[in-house]
Each structure stands twice: as structure tokens, then as C-alpha cells.
Amino acid sequence: MTTQTLIYLFVGASFALYIGIAIWSRAASTSEFYVADGHVNPIVNGMATAADWMSAASFISMAGLIAFLGYDGSVYLMGWTGGYVMLALLLAPYLRQFGQYTVPDFIGARYYSKAARVVAVICLIFISFTYIAGQMRGVGIVFSRFLEVPVDLGVIIGMGIVFVYAVLGGMKGITYTQVAQYCVLIFAYMVPAFFISFLVTGNPMPQVGLGSQVADGSGMYVLQKLDSTLTDLGFTAYTDGSKSMIDIFCITAALMIGTAGLPHVIVRFFTVPSARDARKSAGWALVFIALLYTTAPAVGAFARINFIDTVNETPYAEAPEWLTNWESNDLIAFNDRNGDGVMQYRAGDAFAGAPAFTEERGASGERLVSNDPAQGENEVYVDRDIMVLANPEIANLPGWVIALVAAGGLAAALSTAAGLLLVISSSISHDLLKQTFRPQITEKGELMAARIAATAAILVAGYLGIYPPGFVAQVVAFAFGLAAASLFPAIFMGIFSKRMNKHGAIAGMLSGLAFTFLYIAYFKLWNPDANVAANWWFGISPEGIGVIGMLLNFAVAIGVASFTKSPPLEIRRLVDSIRVPRGARDTQI
């Protein structure tokens, strides 16, 4: 059976499974649509949370960024992992103790204000659409290569799949679908990692293989070989960083704090029966997440070694099949700058963004890219987002492994996309309609509005997936910055400060969101040529600016609250009741 046939078989079977689960567990009420009726087992919810959390950025892009950024790429690993721990300890049990449907529900009730609820919805929509752009981009990349369709068409196909099981099943369907998707994505990530670790180091455990000697007789360890090879080619050593300390700190902090403010992850803790179960669910999710996150650094290092060994100094006429496969999708390219027909992989600016591909072929038959002098001697362009997906092909693994990775990449992207779409739709139907503008709406009407909102959200998400403002992990990083600057301070102070009032929370959310969004938009959308360290405020990149937005949010909120009226007595009692550890006594909410 050919590799392409196996890909169709694996991907088709996984899609049939997801749609079948959605039909089987179709939501029949708003409670089932929003929070799966609050009766999900903690272990099941932990697995679903892990799938919701480990998006296309985790599966597809994170190891690719680590492969090319080396030490600098570790900020994504540290930030996302540490952020989940922060969420589990600081927010999840208390929000479950509150016991409602959505994050705007909490903010609206805690700050006794419809205006606060509407502002929270606005923040949530900004965060979710930014995040979902990365997921749909990941879906398009997987489809474009493995199903041999254009990236744009791949995004549209992904939209259709998500529409079926997200709109039909709601949170109930998504929860059980995500359990299946976690099983697919973790198996798809770990199996090739075991194979490649054994091929590169002779040790099948990738976490151990990263610290082992390379099995090429050189006696060098993996990171030693990478440092030596990359410096010889003009790159920075793999274990050295090029970012400033303040930028490393801010990006890591923004990812951590943003994690604790992500609405699609927070809402998962509303689906378990009690606050105690929320803690259990968080613990299990961390175990399931750790399987992938402890493997990613090894996958990134092995991918870079295999890529260099396969591409550098190789005649284009003898290029491996995997390279020409990805080249046809404009995700890798060779421009024979010196006319010798041999691919020279060197340091240069070919990785700054997508090149200007041409339809003509060069003298050596290569697909041409823009001949930018700033690229120096580098003749190879590669999209970082392909590395995990291409890794099995680069390492010449069996066709079934390649097919498994295709199914896993789609599972990772689709699971998070579905969670985000549900958050968007529930915030519109429940928080804007039911709780704010049309309180008289029936449950049936609210459920219909939720499905219509999800449909509209899918269309917007597809557009953002076709025209994303950066690599998958970078786009996702912007969402974390927006979450850190807007929702996290309001949630944190809502739980731990009885003095914070509606005026302070609203002013803080708006100022943090506006500042962070404008900073990111300026450097990434309106003036990308200015996106260099010399132009950043305090040397902080757009990926890390969410920390400054968060500090601004806290400062504005505390300042405004200190000059305005304290919250009413019943709100202060509500804060006390949230912090009473009733879940430890298995009290149901």
C-alpha cells in the first residue's frame, strides 16, 4: 500500500471517528452545549483539556521553532508549560467553585455589570480569533502536503470538518471528540520521535536521546554536534541565544500569564462536577501535556540535524523526494545563487518570511525564490512549520508513520479550533444575547443562536487561516499576549481582591487590550519593516509585550478602583464564597 493511500486511510478514519462521536453525543440543551452538563469525569476532562491545550502550535510549530531558534525557542516550551501550572493552581478551582458557563459569566457577575460582561466578550473575541488563525493555518499546511491540495483549500476543508462536530455536538461532543484527538495526536507525535531518536542516537527514548551521543562515530553529543555544525555554516550556536534577557523574560512571562487567561482552556474546568474534580482534572491534564512537551526539544534538535544532513551540499538533481513534495506547496525552496546545482544551506535572511516564488525554473531545475542580497550565501528557504510534519519523511520512516503524523497534526489543530469556536459562540449567544440584550430568549432560541454564531466564527477563522500574520506559533503567541493583558488581571483580582470594582476592571481590561493589540498590529500588520529590536519599546518584541499590557491593566484597574465606590456587600460575600474550599468536601455546585 502506498504512503499516499495510507494517508487517505488514516485521515479519513480519524475524521469519521470525530464526526461519529459528534453525532452520538449531540448536545440537546444549552447546558450540554456550553459545559457538557458539568458531569465529565476528571480523567476524561484532563485528556480533553490536553487536546484543547496542545494546539497546532504545540504539535506542528513548537518543535520547528526550537529546531531553528535553538535556545531562543525554549521560551515557548517554558512559557506554555509553566502557564498551565499557574492556571491549575491560581484560577481553575476557584472558577469552578463559581460554577457558571463562561469567563464573561464570571466577570459579569463578579463585577456586577453588563458593561463588564460585554468588555470581557470583546477581549475574548480578540483573543480567540487571533488564536484560531494559527490553528486554521496549521490545518491548511497539513492538508496542502498530505492531501495534495493548496493551503487555502486545505483551510476550507478543515472549516467544514470543524463545522460538523463543533456546531452539532457543542461542548459535550467536543469533549469526547477531543479525547479521541488526544489519543491520535500523542501517538502520532511519540512514535516518530522514538524512531528518530533511535536512528540519530541509538536510544529510543527521545528525552534521553537529546543528552546522548550521535550514532555517527564522531563521539559528539547531540547538542555539541548541532553547535559545531551550525557555527561552521555561519549560524549562531544552537545553545546560544540571540534575544535580549528582557525579551526572553517578557515572552516567557506573557505566555505563562496568557495561558492562565485563555478562555477556551478555563471553560474546560466548568465541565467537571466539583472544584475538587477541577483540581484532579488539572493534574491529569498536566500529565498528558508533559508527554508531548518533554519530547518536543528532542524532536526539534533531531529535525535540525536530519535537515542539514539531507539538504546541505546535496545536488538539487539528487534531492530527496520529501523536499520536492514540500516544494510543490511553496513551503520549501532552493535558489541556485552560484549556479553549481548544489544546495548550500547557510546563515541568511531566507527565514524572515515567505519568499516571492516564481513560476519559472532555474538552470538546475530548481523552484526559484526571491534573490534578496541580504540572504548572503543561503540558497534554501524552509517554512519552520513543516519540520515536525516532514521529520518522518526526512528520516525515511515507513509510510504508515508519515500517515499517522498527518492524522495527528490535523487532530491537534482541529481540537483547539473546535474549543475556540465554542467559546466564541457561547460568549455571543449566552453572554451577549441571553445575559445582556435578549434575556427573554428561549433555551431553544439560545441554542440556535449559539450554532449560528459558531458558523459565523468558522468563516472568520477560515479567512484568518488563509491570511495569517506569521508562523503558527507566533500567531498563537500574540493571542497569549492579549489574554495576559486583558482577561487575566480581571479574573485574578476578581478572585483575590474584594476591593476591585466594576469601574476598575472595565478600565483595566480596555487599556490592557488596546495597548497590546495596537503594539502587535503596528509591528506585525501596519509596519512590519520596523519590527526589529532597535524599534521595540524597552527591547520587548510583540510576542512579549503582553506583560507590559498586563502591568498597565493592573495599574489602571487599581488606580480607578481606589477613587471609585467599593463593590456592594453581596459581591464581597461572593468573593469569599469562591475562595472557600468547598470542593475539598466534595460539595457539588
For the beta carbon of residue 13, count every other beta carbon within 10 angstroms: 13
AA identity, residue 136: M
Residue 35 backbone dihedrals phi, psi, to 5 degrees? -135, 25
Model pLDDT, residue 396: 84
What φ, ψ does residue 158 adopt, rounded to 5°? -60, -40
pTM score, whole prediction: 0.78
Cα gap 469→467, rounded to integer Å: 7
Chunk the chain into consecutive blocks of 10 residues (it has 589) and report each block's average pLDDT, rounded to whole numbers: 84 81 65 60 84 74 83 82 78 76 83 89 81 73 75 80 67 75 87 91 90 87 91 87 87 86 75 77 86 90 89 87 79 79 77 53 61 62 81 85 84 73 77 78 79 81 71 63 90 92 94 92 80 85 91 96 92 83 45
Give the side-chain half-sphere CA count within 13 A for 416.
34
Give me the pLDDT at residue 352, please.
47
**Predicted pLDDT of residue 462:** 80
Q: Please say whether the beta carbons of 343 and 314 come within 8 A.
A: yes
Which of left, alpha, beta for 211 (phi over 0: left; psi -120 to 50: alpha)? alpha
pLDDT value of residue 375: 52
For the chain, the structural domain boundaries read: 3-303+397-585, 332-382
Strand partners, 332: 382
Cell matching residue 55: 494546539
Alpha helices in 312-466 (DSSP H): 321-327, 387-394, 399-426, 443-466
Which residue type sits at 178? Q
Do 395 and 386 form a contact (C-beta atoms < 8 A)?
Answer: no
Q: Which three cell numbers stand for residue 165?
A: 462536530
- Asked if residue 171 lies in contact with residue 25, where contact means CB atoms within 8 angstroms, the answer is no
C-alpha cell at 507: 478600565
Grid cell locating 46: 484532563
Q: What is the pLDDT of residue 515?
A: 95
| Cα distance between residue 266 and residue 96, in whole Å | 9
What does each C-alpha distance from 63 to 313, 373, 525 come to in angstroms? 24, 29, 25
Neighbours of 436 (CB within 10 A): 16
The pLDDT value recorded for residue 503 is 95
Residues 157-211 pLDDT 10s: 877 777 776 666 566 667 777 788 888 888 888 999 999 999 899 899 999 999 8
Backbone angles phi, psi at 315, to 5 degrees: -60, 135
- Do residues 282 and 266 lie in contact, with contact meaning Cβ atoms separated by under 8 Å? no
Among candidates 271, 245, 241, 77, which has minimal Cα distance to 174?
271
Nearest Cα to Cα of residue 515 among 539, 488, 486: 486
Fold type of domain 3-303+397-585: Sodium/glucose cotransporter (1.20.1730)
Cα–Cα distances in Å, from 141 out to 146, 192, 274, 394, 496?
Answer: 9, 19, 39, 17, 43
